[in-house]
Every structure is written in C-alpha cells, then in structure tokens.
Structure 1
Amino acid sequence: MSLIDVNSSITSIDRLSPVLERFRVDATLFHAGPLCGHQTFDAQPGRGFLHVLRRGEMDLLYRDGKQLARTHLCEATLLLFPRAVHHEFINPPVDGSDFTCATLDFDGGLRNPIVQSLPDVILLPLQAIDGLQATLDLLFAESDRTRCGSRLLANRLFEVVLIQVLRWIIDHPEQAQVSPGMMLGLSDPRLAKALMAVHAAPDAEWTLERMAALAGMSRSAFAAAFKTATGTTPAAYSLDWKLNVATSLLRAGRPVKQVALELGFADAPTFSRAFRRRTGDSPREGLNTRGEAG
C-alpha cells in the first residue's frame, strides 16, 4: 500500500472519539458580547479557556514561561488555552471587540492526555477550519439571547467547536505547533492505528512487536517513529494510557481492586506500585490531587 493509500484510509477512521469518550471535557459559557479596556484571566488549576473573537481587534498578552508574550489580533480568531495559563485582553476603551467565551474543564486536569499533548495557546483564524462557521452561527444565535435551554445548548456547541478544533489540529499539527505527544502521534498515518488500538484496549498487553505490526512497520522503524512523534517509548505510552484510564475510573467511583483487575494488573498492590512509580502518588493520593499538579 502506498503512503497516499495509507493517508486516505486513515482519514476515514475516527481517531478522536475514543479519547474524548474516556476523558470528557465540559465547556461553560461565561461571556457573550463586547469587551472594553483591559481584562485579566488568571490561571486556575485544571481550567482552560476557549475564546472566540468575533469582531474587532485587540492585543493579547499571555504567560510564556516567565514572561508575558504580546500578540496583536485584527481578524476573527479562535483562542484556545487548554491548560491554566494567565492571559490578558487589551481592547479599545470604548466600542470594544466582540467575544463569545467559555471555560473548559478537562477530566483529569493536566493529566488529561489531550491537554498533555497541546501547546499552551493556539490562535486560529476562524476561516481556517472547514465547517466551523456553521457551528459558530448556531453558538452565537444561542449565546446572544436568552431562550429556554439556551445556556445549556451554548455549552454543548462550545464542546462541538472544541472537537472541530482538535480535529483540525490532528490534520495540521505543524500549523498548530503541536509538540511531541498523543495528538502528533495520531496525526501520523503509520502510528494512528497502533495508538487507536491501545486507546481502545488499555487492559491488553501491548508489546513493541504487536504495535509495530498494526502500524505495518518493522520494530526498529516503528520504535524510532513512535519516539519522534510522541516523545516517549511504546511501552511507556501504553502504561501511561493505562494509568490515565485507571485514574478516570477511580474518579468515577470504581474501587481500586476492580480497576486493577479491569485494566489487566495481577492485583491491587501491583497496580498501586505501578501507579506510584509513574506518578509519585498512590492511586488514592493521585485521585485527591484531581490531576491538577501534572
């Protein structure tokens, strides 16, 4: 099969839903309308933001390491902050720019595999994503006026917008400036089938040979490509995914022993030891931190 055939076949496979079904994200509308002057959005552990600049222009300041980076925006733009990042909007003091904004609460906070694999901020012109405008039209219609169920519907539409953005990121990782991680791995047609199999069956024993066979690659070529795309080894990735799923199940109220057996560990102590080696916490301690410390 040629690379063109591989790319064609992988685009027909849903690489995103299995992850979002395991690790939910909840959007909450908190503003619709103009913003004037200076607004500050403080970093809150476990919380992201999704802003849509509908009309106007502004200066964006955001924490980039120890410094504030400054960017001027002069076109309709989507601003995604998947993790807790301090950012500020500087709009005209009168007749400010028009926004629709939501907070994002990712299941697991910083330990959410989607959050882990995204940059701190993504700035994306609205016209860059095919089909996005139709969703935004519905979102704006619901957020601009109060009707029965409008806030709940606006929240769900913001989640649809996020899914469309994540889909675009998988298809355009270089433009999104995605660092090595899950999203970059899913964007590689050779690796996506192996990653999707790991995501679908976290309880399975995922050897290098088995994953390489799914990718249609030799073990050495697969291991090298996998490390380049995800920043880790196949064994470490599959264990991290297993433990992330375990944390999600624990948050849902499953007992430690049941989670251990469901995910293929010999018993609860074996699971607890693996969890502590990887995270520094016991399963219960990790649950109490709510994944916010990373």
Structure 2
Amino acid sequence: MPTRWLTSSDLYVIGPADWCFRLLLTPIVFAFANSPAETGLTLDDGLDELVTKVAAANPNTVVVLNNAEPVLMPWLDDVAAVLEMLYPNQEGGWATADLLLGNSVPQGRLPVTYPASLASTMTRNPDYPERVATESGNATFSEGLDIGYRWYVHTNTSVLFPFGYGLSYTSFEYSNPNFAAASPSQQQSPSGLNYEVSCSPDDADAVFSVSFKVTNTGSVKGVEVPQVYIGPPADAASTYPDAQFAAIALVGFANVELEAGASTSVSIGIREKQLSFYNVNTTSWEVAKGERPVYISKNAEDAVFSGHVQV
C-alpha cells in the first residue's frame, strides 16, 4: 500500500471509518511542538486533533514527538505507543526509523517531568503567585531546591510521565540491593564489568555506594538506566535549621546494556559533594551528617528499593 501523508490541514478527510487508516497495520503520526509553553503545552495547530482522528480509525497508531518541552497528550490512552524524539538534529530521521523498525532499542530517559495537566504545573499554582512573571517581568523561584521534578515529588502532584521515565522493547528486574557497600571498586560483576558512575565531577572517592543486580527479563537486548535518589537527613530541621534540602535528589545513575536473560551487578558511587549543602554562614560546602534515605529507582517516582545510610 502506498504511503499516505497527511497534515493537520487534511483533517476534514479523516473519519472514524477512514478506509486507508483501517487497512494500515501501524499508522505513524509525526507531531511537533515548537513553543508549547506559549500554547498551553499543546502540539502545534490541529495536531492533537489529527492524532485523535487517526487513532479513532486505527488504535494501533504510533505517535512520534518532536518537541523542545513537555506536551500534554489527551489522546494517550487511544494510541498504541509514543516515541519521544525531542529535537534529534540531522541524524534524527535515521534514528527514528531504526527505533520504529526495531533495529535499535529505545534507551533514553526523560530529562524533565511531563505534567498531567496545565493546571498541575507550578506556574499555574495559586500558592506561588511570585513564580509567574510579575509587573517587573521577574519570576521568583521560591520553591528553592524543590525545583523541577523535585517539586512534583515534594507536593505529591500527579504527573503524566515522571523525570527519568523511559521504556524499552524489553524489561528489567532489580534484586539484591546493598546500601552500604564498602567501595565501588569491590563491586565487580561476574563478567568483570563495573558500572560505577557519579553525577559529580569531583575525583574524590565515594563516601558510600549503592549496589544491586539488574536482569534483562525480556527476549531482546536492551539498555536499562537505574537511578539513585537521596532524601534529606532525618533530623535536618533541628541540625541544619538554616539549610534547605530537596525532598529527593538524583545522585547517580548507570547505563546498563544486557543481552536477553543476562544479569550483572551494578554499583553507583555517591560522592561527598552530592551529600553536601552550601552553608551560607561559613560560605562553604558542608557534608550533611546523619541518617539519609536512599532509593534505587527506575525514575523519580518509581522506587524499586529503599534503604538508609549513615553519613
């Protein structure tokens, strides 16, 4: 069957019984959003309606997104899949084709939170009027360290997709968590691989490391991105009354490539800088001592294991 290209201007020809889309095995809709923040986090003119109508004719529809910011997806429950490509630049066409055809496996993770609605975003929250542009044109980030994904977790606000979210053509299982490993260098997998990583640019040794086992439980090769988040000290309010701590903060992650059925041990080192806060009284960084919650997660809101470490 020949390729049929449609744009939002062709909406009038699409109906629930459109024979072309019903015959297609997998209709693919390429949707764009140049400045969603200016249009209420929606796709460009008519594209949400285009997706809705194509999906009504064929529920096996796949949506490929090219956008710079999060967008709402009112049609999400009506389509088979969404491939978020953001702005992939000049090789994006090849990359998109490889992912759709199964020549490559998706392994990216969302760098931002996708809100469930426009009303659920901080800039529309009446509790933060100073967060929106004022007469002076300035916005005050009064949430402090609870910015971005941290604010959604801190306020328990429902989201469409959390920070760090991403799917693959396979599945992964975590097991054997250890929140007090002696040294990342001692946590070698049977194959000799060591996925020690850190978000910190410092070369200092890890204060502690989190180790666990990852298994590819699917039928194809894939890449998993386990993430480690940390919470504030249990007695932060009394011990550090002048400091603010985020509800959770990403402190490490790993890219783990595994063949189908394979397993490996993963160790993620947590370094001193990631456990520190800036002391405004001494104008220096200071390690926050005490017991701190640690989470081994698939994304900012999906903790697989939780534990505590004493810093």
Tell me the TM-score normalized by structure 1: 0.25
Considering fraction of residues, name the structure with more helix.
1
Instruction: Identify, as 1 or 2, the structure richer in strand.
Output: 2
Greater Rg over alpha carbons, structure: 2
Compare relative contact order (CA 8 Å, sep 6+) and give the higher one, 1 or 2: 1
